[in-house]
A and B are shown apart, each in its own frame.
Chain A
């Protein structure tokens, strides 16, 4: 039999989020059925680094929320495993289940913030809690005693929906791993700008937003055309929704063209214009060249936005720009789409026709296709047409997805939650899914692998790290996240973690990649959506095999090179001998 693949939670990092990974099973242990993200043998943990400090059973803040901190004889049901009996403990941030068996102790650690919704059921005095997680997993706990069950359920409900950000786990989490590099300082604008300055001098760093006084949702430092001074920027900010004035998003080295992002212009019904705005974006064009404005709303929606003071760039005032409307759905439409998709994936009673029609009706893949199409269009304008591009929707916070994405609002709830707040939207998941689609089509062009994307998805929704807390730089700085929480990147940017996210097929390549957006080329992202619905043992083994093949080749190559060197040395020695 081949070495069984075996997934469990990382050592050296509390099992807050199930980060799947492949490690060889300890030799003495019988092979396990397959992935069991949150369940891991104690011995493996003990052998590795500590899982982090055991959270205080109930810090002061949470004591009153936890009426029953512990219940015995609880039965846990979770995907791919037989039911197991053990003890359930509630702490301020975790739900911990331990089988307490001497021979094969198993533990489940679940962050309360990973819990999307819970349901309770009673049969006699036996209560059942069904927990639906934001990573789309569903687990079930059978708890004897009606009171205990009710108490636990209400605690989970309260603890998983804490109002205050500062009560969340990242503010309590103390890492046990060695920090090589502070992730909060990994992506500083100055350093990024230095890279940019080495290829062009047409841009400058502006500190206009230092105190978040111009645009509360932008970072303090932004990159803008050199020829536009801060005074002009202030005027432009007045002309853009939420003051999100056009800033640099991406610079294309090959031809100096750029992608900028902003929010909609506030033209209103009477066609207001702003000379500085026109000047700003024109500054990115080469003489005689045209640019493209990609409006991620339909023309209809953009026109309607005028009534509310918003609008779009009028041809008359932006003669060098061509506007293209590429409709990308937003907010609740995306959220509904995700809910429908997850529902379809979880219902195993579907026949083929019903599955396909549910998949179709969810529209998830339609949204993927829309976003990829818009992205390809932008890339095409820049690379093929040699034109600069400005991308915006209404608020300019979702469509291009870089700095300033309101993570906290968008990722507060996942697919199972009933409370449908209007700002909920799986935009980041959609982005990750799009990246996965491109990764599938260009498996050699990404330095990271699918696991990296899945890890990001999990941490965006529930994490011990502060990276995805808050909605923008302003909020993050008010929360003092860099001082009070650990950055996800501090943990990721260590060789032992990085190696798990590395794509063995990666070959550095500076060429532009053009994915296909034909429906035949797009697939459901199984790694996320079917993860808990079908075992992945055989796929994991294939991945392992691929890594081994490439690793072995590299070792062989190194060996051959070393031998060649040796031979060459011996030959020179011989020659020297002869010469003597």
Chain B
């Protein structure tokens, strides 16, 4: 506990608040003593990205905290010793070394063991495959990976073409980076075209693999309506070519029957990390001019990257829906760009994924189960800062951009996205811990932690989209990806700068209309 701490407001010249800072095992809490009503600011230790001590000012010792949910808190502490102690404590608390130290393992919402188990069973991927009609004549769910022998970053059960026997699967896995073989991500029931995903082939300059070629053939033939399939490498061509020197690379059209190979340049995690960094610098500028802001936005490249991800997803959705062709997608390891593009394409094609339940399934399926390395990308534990990258943030933003273009097509609202984004970093729930299925199994996530989804469903009333027109109102979405269709997401990157947001919230207004409506309907039927 430190008293006499000031919290500076970044955007107004209002007098700084004066209050007390508390450090608990999980949170930093600031209580504003100068306000008439008790005002508290809570910051979860896991949310802290960086803590900086700034040079001494007349007011005291400034401490600048940047959070992963883009909260920036600027404290000024009276005593140097206090400031230093807070600083070192926060450094330690915000960067746990062992997974067991993560909040999820101590978080106790006083829930029975049974309910916790029910919570974990809320999302069942098998049900989603059934929804797609799998298993069927062409596709099967196989447990070939039950001991993680084919691929240790895939889940035990994967969907592959029936025509691909175990020898083909195992053979193909030897030819794919980290054994991440082509598996089904989404089957479009309308015409049997499928979206499949994998990692890059170990082709080098000339290597071939018969089983891998058979695997692709099996995928193509599982969609008898089309004579060809697309193979999409989501990397810039130059990056993919450079990989050949390391014995990796991309598919040679000559070696695979009837494939159409295509590059869609989405930059790698390092470019994205730097881009976000630049974007945040722009967001934090003190009273920038319009020019400063727009130039900064352009130079950050952030919206360019968002557009690239969206363009790739639209390409996939069009190939499947309009050209009736199956698509196999990969990047390098097939767990970053591939996850973004596959999940977004599914969201464009299938209205189910635009519901609460469906969106949870989508994240569980394409991100969690398929081994997006949340722990590394979000920096849950003290580790290599070069592994951190806002890949999932970009996915969430793409969904938000779609919401702007199609306001009636999502069951949930922006706050649902922000909640999920918060909890990807909070480590309060087990869903996003670790890097892959196997690791979560070793951590005994299901026994020791809670699942996020039932908690979000409890809050459904405030997270719903009042303009949603229902599951059957819209089928496939065809977003416009011209540059002017992309907006800067103030609600995310300047979320904690309330002064910048609309002062009257249409969403709140409509949500209260909806709850009022239910009350009135009850009243009316009672009175009748």
Interface of A with B (CB < 8 Å)?
1-2, 345, 348, 350-357, 359-360, 363, 365-366, 368-369, 440-445, 505, 513-516, 518-524, 526, 530, 533-535, 538-539, 541-542, 545-546, 549-550, 552-553, 556-557, 559-560, 563-564, 566-567
Contact = CB atoms under 8 A, between A and B. Distances in A.
Contact of A518 (B294, B499, B510): B499
A365 B290 contact: yes
B304 A441 contact: no
Interface string B283-312: 100011111111101100101100100000
A560 B294 contact: no
Interface string B395-436: 000000000011111000000000000000000000000000
Nearest to B506: A443
B514 interface: yes
B185 interface: no
B483 A352 contact: yes
Interface of B: 11, 283, 287-295, 297-298, 301, 303-304, 307, 405-409, 466-467, 469, 473-474, 480, 482-488, 490, 494, 497, 499-504, 506, 509-510, 513-514, 516-517, 520-521, 523-524, 527-528
A530 B483 CA distance: 12
A523 B503 contact: no
Contacts of A559: 520, 524
Given A444-B509, A518-B499, A520-B293, 4 more contacts: A357-B298, A359-B484, A516-B500, A518-B497
Given A444-B504, A556-B520, A560-B524, A538 B297 contact: no
A520 B490 contact: yes
Nearest to B308: A352
Nearest to A538: B406
A545 B408 contact: yes
A443 B502 contact: yes
Contacts of A520: 283, 293, 488, 490, 494, 497, 500
Given A353-B298, A505-B509, A441 B502 contact: yes
A445 B483 contact: no
A352 to B, nearest CB: 4
Contacts of B297: 356
B467 A545 contact: yes
27 contacts: A2-B474, A345-B484, A352-B483, A356-B298, A360-B291, A360-B295, A363-B290, A443-B506, A444-B504, A514-B503, A516-B501, A518-B11, A518-B499, A519-B292, A520-B283, A520-B488, A533-B482, A538-B408, A538-B409, A539-B407, A541-B407, A550-B513, A556-B520, A559-B520, A560-B527, A563-B523, A564-B527
A563 B301 CA distance: 59
A556 B499 contact: no
B502 A530 contact: no
Contacts of B521: 556
A519 B288 contact: yes
Nearest to B293: A519
SS class, residues of chain B in contact with chain A: helix
B518 to A, nearest CB: 10
Contact of A563 (B303, B485, B487, B528): B528
A560 to B, nearest CB: 5
Contact of A556 (B291, B303, B506, B524): B524
Q: Chain A at the B interface: mostly helix, strand, loop or mixed?
A: helix
A524 B482 CA distance: 15
A521 B527 CA distance: 46
A137 to B, nearest CB: 16
A542 B473 CA distance: 12
A98 B193 CA distance: 44
A559 B474 CA distance: 32
A519 B294 contact: yes
Contact of A445 (B298, B485, B504, B527): B504
B473 A365 contact: no
A440 B407 contact: no
B61 to A, nearest CB: 28
B520 A366 contact: no
A534 B481 CA distance: 10
B407 A553 contact: no
Contacts of A442: 502-504
B480 to A, nearest CB: 5
B294 A356 contact: yes
A524 B504 CA distance: 19
A524 B487 CA distance: 9
A441 B484 contact: no
A440 to B, nearest CB: 6
A223 B474 CA distance: 57
A384 B288 CA distance: 24
Contact of B484 (A355, A360, A564): A355
Contacts of A546: 467, 506, 510
B371 to A, nearest CB: 30
Nearest to A365: B290
B71 to A, nearest CB: 15
Contacts of A553: 513, 516-517, 520
